[in-house]
Amino acid sequence: DAKTTQPPSMDCAEGRAANLPCNHSTISGNEYVYWYRQIHSQGPQYIIHGLKNNETNEMASLIITEDRKSSTLILPHATLRDTAVYYCIVSGGSNYKLTFGKGTLLTVNP
């Protein structure tokens, strides 16, 4: 699995955009970038994924650089309930398991 690098923690003001970076410089051509989050000890929650193009859904936007070596998850209007650990995971091909790192603890402040 391609490894990912994320900052251990970030802060964001409520109502502002949260931009979470991730480096995945060893990503392979058939691997997707997935983002999950985990609130306290709950099960990881799927947020979004992408291959090459930028993606947007009701939760977030994902910006992937042209060389695919890094990406940014954007929460456009962070709320207190978005406080969680966010995981950037690269997976694909014939490998279906998700390899979780330590992620980024995003704290949204009032």
Partner 1 sequence: EPEVTQTPSHQVTQMGQEVILRCVPISNHLYFYWYRQILGQKVEFLVSFYNNEISEKSEIFDDQFSVERPDGSNFTLKIRSTKLEDSAMYFCASSVVRGGRNEQFFGPGTRLTVL
Rule CB under 8 A: is residue 92 a binding residue for partner 1? yes
Residue 26 or 57: the one with the smaller Cβ distance to partner 1 is: 57
Tracing tokens 């998700």 back to the chain, one arrives at 98
d(CA 15, CA 48): 20
- How distant is the alpha carbon of residue 12 from its chain centre? 15
Q: Would you count residue 98 as binding partner 1 (CB under 8 A)?
A: yes
Does 53 sit near partner 1 (CB under 8 A)?
no
Residues in the chain: 110
CA 95-99-103 angle, to 5 degrees, is 150
Cβ-based nearer residue to partner 1, 87 or 104: 87
**In the complex, what is the shortest distance from the CB of residue 30 to partner 1, in angstroms, rounded to a whole number?**
6
**Listed ranges 16-24, 30-38, 64-72, 76-84: which one lies at the site for partner 1 (CB under 8 A):** 30-38
